[in-house]
């Protein structure tokens, strides 16, 4: 199963992608997570990505495509993958199409999660994540069992540096300008399913899984 999670920052793409990846037994590929890991390790890629991410701007397409190309050539991607936060521009989507064509494969589904802008700002201001394993929490909607600590690995949770009001507003603008056009790009090309991301986390997952139920029995896909 090859899925792209689409939706504005804070829609719940990462939260859902992590759970779906486990259920479908395919890797969860978050370009944002890959960049943050590079920043933590202070690599050249990290240094470069940070200068864009801190302002809520997109990392240049050629850089992003380089890391995606490397990632999807790893063996675990043969059974499928869930892209989260990628593609983010039409150029990335076109480039991905070419890459998949060369591999003789194609995308199965776009999962489009929709949430209103006002909800997004409050969600991201309350987002906390685990720098070690990437688990994502929300101070009110989805708090860890023990305050401030990751449920799965015990690491101290952190807020993201780009989850400040000003940067969030810029990310929303960038989303509307550069990423939303992907809906038109994929329309008629790849099956797209829309979900109301304002519902509870479990409810959204349930609806996505119900939708995916139609693939059951097609063993080459699931
Ligand atoms: P994205 O990957 O789309 O940026 P995340 O999955 O990181 O979004 O979620 C953003 C924040 O919103 C996190 O704090 C997360 O815990 C919370 N969140 C995710 N889905 C929901 C939901 N359905 N209802 C309420 N809060 C949610
Ligand atoms: P969110 O889901 O909350 O928007 P992400 O973790 O997906 O956050 O992305 C954080 C930042 O990483 C983006 O604002 C952007 O600077 C960079 N980034 C992530 N994915 C891409 C991508 N596909 N293309 C360009 N920049 C990206
Ligand atoms: Zn953790």
Choosing from 18, 123, 167 the residue with most ligand 1 atoms within 8 A of its CB, the one to mutate for a pocket test is 123
- Looking at residue 69, what is its pLDDT? 96
What is the per-residue pLDDT across 86-117, written as a single tens digit (0 to 9) for each?
A: 999 999 999 999 999 999 999 999 999 999 99
Q: Delimit the domains of the chain by residue range.
A: 2-115+164-221, 116-158
Banded model confidence at residue 17, pLDDT cuts 50, 70, 90:
very high
Banded model confidence at residue 214, pLDDT cuts 50, 70, 90:
confident
CB of 52 closer than 6 angstroms to any ligand 2 atom? yes
Catalytic residues: 13, 88, 127, 160, 171
Cα 12 to middle of ligand 1, angstroms: 4
- Looking at residue 73, what is its pLDDT? 93
What is the per-residue pLDDT across 157-209, written as a single tens digit (0 to 9) for each?
A: 999 999 999 999 999 999 999 999 999 999 999 999 999 999 999 999 999 99
- Looking at residue 171, what is its pLDDT? 98
Question: Which atom of ligand 1 is found nearest the CA of 200?
Answer: 23
Question: Which atom of ligand 2 is found nearest the CA of 8?
Answer: 4
Give the side-chain half-sphere CA count within 13 A for 69.
13
Q: Which residues line ligand 1 (CB under 6 A)?
A: 7, 9-15, 123, 126-127, 136-138, 141-142, 197, 199-201, 204
Give buried/exposed letters for 106-131 (b at 16+ CB in 10 A, else e): ebbbbbbbebeeeebbebbebbbbbe
Cα 205 to middle of ligand 1, angstroms: 12
Cα 198 to middle of ligand 1, angstroms: 9
- Looking at residue 160, what is its pLDDT? 94
Q: Is the pLDDT of residue 216 over 70?
A: no
Q: Is the pLDDT of residue 136 over 50?
A: yes
- Looking at residue 204, what is its pLDDT? 98
- Looking at residue 219, what is its pLDDT? 47
pTM, full prediction: 0.95
**Average pLDDT for residues 35-53, to the nearest whole number?**
96
Q: Is the pLDDT of residue 25 over 90?
A: yes
Which ligand neighbours the alpha carbon of 33 most closely? 2
Which ligand neighbours the alpha carbon of 146 most closely? 3
Share of the chain above pLDDT 70, in %: 96
Match domain 2-115+164-221 to its CATH number in 3.30.1330.20, 3.40.50.300, 3.40.190.10, 3.40.50.620. Answer: 3.40.50.300
- Looking at residue 222, what is its pLDDT? 47
Which ligand neighbours the alpha carbon of 128 most closely? 1
Which residues, at least 6 apart from 4, have a Cβ–Cβ distance to it below 8 Å?
82, 83, 86, 87, 107, 109, 110, 111, 186, 190
């Amino acid at each position: 199963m090859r899925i792209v999670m689409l939706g504005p920052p804070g829609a719940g793409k990462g939260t859902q992608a992590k759970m779906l990846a486990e259920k479908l037994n395919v890797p969860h590929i978050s370009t944002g997570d890959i960049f943050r890991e590079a920043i933590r390790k202070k690599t050249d890629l990290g240094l470069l990505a940070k200068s864009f991410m801190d302002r809520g701007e997109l990392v240049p397409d050629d850089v992003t495509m380089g890391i995606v190309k490397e990632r999807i050539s790893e063996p675990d991607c043969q059974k499928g993958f869930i892209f989260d936060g990628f593609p983010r521009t039409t150029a990335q989507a076109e480039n991905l199409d070419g890459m998949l064509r060369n591999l003789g494969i194609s995308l199965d589904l776009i999962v489009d999660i929709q949430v209103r802008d006002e909800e997004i700002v409050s969600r991201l201001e309350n987002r906390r994540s685990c720098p070690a394993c990437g688990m994502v929490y929300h101070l009110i909607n989805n708090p860890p069992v023990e305050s401030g600590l990751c449920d799965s690995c015990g690491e101290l949770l952190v807020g993201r540096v780009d989850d400040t009001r000003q940067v969030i507003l810029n990310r929303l603008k960038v989303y509307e300008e550069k990423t939303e056009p992907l809906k038109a790009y994929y329309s008629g090309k790849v099956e797209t399913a829309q979900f109301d991301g304002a519902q509870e986390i479990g409810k959204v997952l349930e609806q996505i899984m119900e939708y995916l139920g139609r693939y059951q029995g097609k063993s080459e896909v699931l």
